[in-house]
Chains A and B, each alone.
Chain A
Amino acid sequence: MTDQHPALSLRGLAKRFDTKVAVAGVDLAVPTGSFYGLLGPNGAGKTTTLSMAVGLLRPDAGEARVLGYDVWADPVRAKSLLGVMPDGVRLFDRLSGAELLAYHGLLRGMDPAVVDQRAAELLDVLALSDAGRTLVVDYSAGMKKKIGLACALLHGPRLLVLDEPFEAVDPVSAALIRDILHRYVGGGGTVIFSSHVMEVVERLCSHVAILAEGRIKQVGTLAEVRGDRSLEDVFVEVVGGRTATGEELSWLSR
């Protein structure tokens, strides 16, 4: 029955911190099977929006549904379909990579044997098995991103919500992650991720939304949004960028 519903639908999501309106009413429908890119400048409200969509942050208004299940009214059903990699949140990093995966798997109610097998596979594919029993605190930034991704994938979710998955990841790993996500979408999964990297979004996404100042400024399939220009041009135009004139910061060159 879940198939008539969009994988993720946000309606009128809004959040205000004290006086600062971080998200001012976001509507978004992420179709099942799509690869959705959420773009926006720093401070646009991407992290805030995604946090509200997955149940980490209580919205002031609006609703979020995962495959039809309300994240706030029916969290158990909604969350069981979700795989999440939040940004700016620590992992339980005093566990080793394998321990962390086992923890996540069992929390999701998976069978221990399946957890073992999938954890070994994920660690192998993401080139984390070499880290052995090193605690996750001592991983590099890129390795932390990768183990975070592994945790989100482990239970085979129907919808993946990733906040800046390509940040701090080396090109080889980035290519690997892209491949994994491609396979995942090809197999019927849905991905929504936030990013600043236009090339990645252009290469991967079927749909794009551009968020700025807490509002969706532009949304549609990649072709609709891009038209015949490059995505970067569209982004800069929508967001209203500026370029350095050469006058300011003259003290930087001696």
Chain B
Amino acid sequence: MAVPVTVPERPARRVSPWHFVRLKLRVLGNNFRGQTWRVALFVLGLLFGLWFAAVGFFLLAAPGLAGESRYALMIAAFGGGVLTLGWLLLPLVFFGVDETLDPARFALLPLSRRTLVTGLLAAALVSVPALATAITAAGLVVTAGALGGWAAALAGALGVVLGLLVCLAGARAITSAFATMLRSRRVRDLAAVLLAVLAALLGPLQLLVLAAVRQTDWDRLDGVARVVGWTPFGAPWTAGVDVAEGRAGAAVVKLLIAVATLGVLLLWWSRSLESAMVGTASSGPARTPRGVAGGAVAQLFPRAVGWTRRDRFGALVARECRYWWRDARRRANLITVAVVGVFVPLMVNLGGPAFLSEGGAAFEQATADSSPALVSLTMIFVGALASVTLANQFGFDGSSYAANLVAGVPGRVELRARMAAFSIYVVPMLVVIAVALAVVLGRPEWLGVMGGALFAAYGCGLAINAFVSVLGAYSLPESSNPFAMNSGAGFTKGLLTLVSMVGSAVVAVPFVVAAALLGDVWLWLALPVGLAYGGGAALLGAYMAGDTLDHRQPELLAAVTPRR
């Protein structure tokens, strides 16, 4: 019997963005059901967000409240620009994007691309960061209104709404474009480099901000602000101030720039969205490993870990090594460590602002300013930062961790192997960073001090993160997007990162004190002492956290298993 083919009728009701917003709220609500600690974390995150938002609001509203029109444009352009840049870079480098509504889940629904993109954009508005940004940017409306009356306030409000949408669309577009690239075999390595470059932009950005704070030459800054105001970064945010200062024409053009930017971003996003939706089946670089000939065991062990014994510990190390390379999410994390680890020490030790304002002469000055204690401090930061990548190491594995549980892997072996595998990638990187910094500073004799502090902090960090990863694990979505995060996980991640970084730094602080007090003896002692201290801490951490792990393996598995 032939099934009668009917032309699909027009859906009885149109799907509007509002449906997506409601869906997101519902999913959020369901996530909270019966999970008191999740609610608590969310409320805490909300409070933090509101606090930051309030600070931002008053900063941006200050020119209006003080009736001081001179700085209005500058603050709008720089403040707005920082917001936009933050939205573009932070998801890539640290926070990821909230993927409560995973686009892949809509793949089978008869939705047009346009409906989907506007819907997802609307849903993205429902988040703490978006709320905080909106509140912050409202400060600009206040400024415009106070300086230029209702018309200016209206233009400002329009600009702020557009600006917020640009931020959201930009974050989505960039992360999904990178996700696509990291998945693709051909451009994967290019993507890694690009990501590094983008992350590196955070450095100059910070320099700019510092420079702006220190800079007394307001006229020059004003010129820069005017230019920024005409770029997509500043255009939507400065429209209100322009009207207030009597440049209505400019404001209109700027709003148009913002609309065009938004359009381009949405188009870009919808393109990569499609490939993300199709590519859900295989998440991650699906390269067929080129291989070593030989038996199964020989295939498992990458050349870098050829030295390990062919036993349980060796197998764990080998698998972890493979995973750091093959899993797009882990790779993105490694890249971040490398980039931030290089730039932050350079910036701090070269005294960024001075360098920027006065050029080469200040460079000499800055290298002279640096001291063993200061480099120790920055190295501690780098070591803590590197180890914090492991703060949710079991979350990377998700439910596959069950295999280790079934095999009854002792917690201590598990943690030691994970530390070893990660160190195979990170320790060479750290050494390069330390050497590079010593060379740039022209102080090769500080290498010992730097290495000592670095490895002390790294080892302490490994120990502390062993605990954090066992006790504070959370699940990551099984999405094809390595930047995807569950809603609210961004705050959890931030909190855990803060805890473990502060913890590692505190434990390693004796090295700064020693560098400051001990003088030249320390130049020779620091490295051996640091290696022993860090190594000892890591082993002790694995020993103690391993015990904890043995007692809560099933709970850990439940915590990292994504709820589908």
Contacts and interface: CB of A to CB of B under 8 A. Distances in A.
Interface of A: 18, 54-58, 75-76, 79-80, 82, 84, 86, 88-96, 98-99, 101-109, 112, 115-117, 119-120, 132-135, 137-138, 151, 254
Contact of A132 (B4, B283, B288, B318): B288
Contact of B310 (A112, A137, A138, A254): A112
Interface in B495-528: none
A165 B34 CA distance: 33
Given A95-B319, A96-B289, A79 B406 contact: yes
Contact of A135 (B289, B312, B557): B289
Interface in B238-297: 282-284, 286-291, 295-297
A95 B286 contact: no
Nearest to B313: A106
Contacts of A90: 398-400, 478
Contact of B297 (A57, A89, A102): A102
A89 B299 contact: no
6 contacts: A56-B557, A79-B407, A89-B402, A99-B296, A102-B297, A103-B318
B313 to A, nearest CB: 9
B322 interface: yes
B558 A89 contact: no
Given A79-B406, A98-B296, A134-B288, 17 more contacts: A79-B408, A82-B406, A86-B406, A92-B403, A95-B319, A98-B295, A99-B296, A102-B295, A102-B299, A107-B409, A115-B295, A115-B297, A116-B296, A119-B295, A119-B296, A133-B299, A135-B289
B400 A92 contact: yes
Interface residues of B, number: 52
Contacts, number: 137
Interface of B: 3-4, 6, 33-34, 282-284, 286-291, 295-300, 310-312, 314-316, 318-319, 322-323, 326-327, 397-400, 402-410, 478, 553-555, 557-558, 561
Contacts of A86: 402, 406
B519 to A, nearest CB: 50
Contact of B406 (A54, A58, A103, A254): A54
A106 B299 CA distance: 13
A57 B406 CA distance: 11
A101 B298 CA distance: 12
Ordered nearest first, which 8 A-B pairs have the shortest CB separation? A116-B295, A106-B315, A79-B408, A119-B296, A102-B296, A98-B296, A102-B300, A112-B310
A86 B400 CA distance: 10
Contacts of A79: 406-408
Nearest to A114: B297
A98 B301 CA distance: 11
A52 to B, nearest CB: 9
Nearest to B558: A57
A214 to B, nearest CB: 19
Interface centre among A82, A84, A94, A99 (most CB of B within 10 A): A94
B315 A89 contact: no
B310 A106 contact: yes
B297 to A, nearest CB: 4
B159 to A, nearest CB: 45
A181 B340 CA distance: 53
Nearest to A57: B554
B550 to A, nearest CB: 9
A148 to B, nearest CB: 10
B34 A18 contact: yes
A99 B300 contact: yes
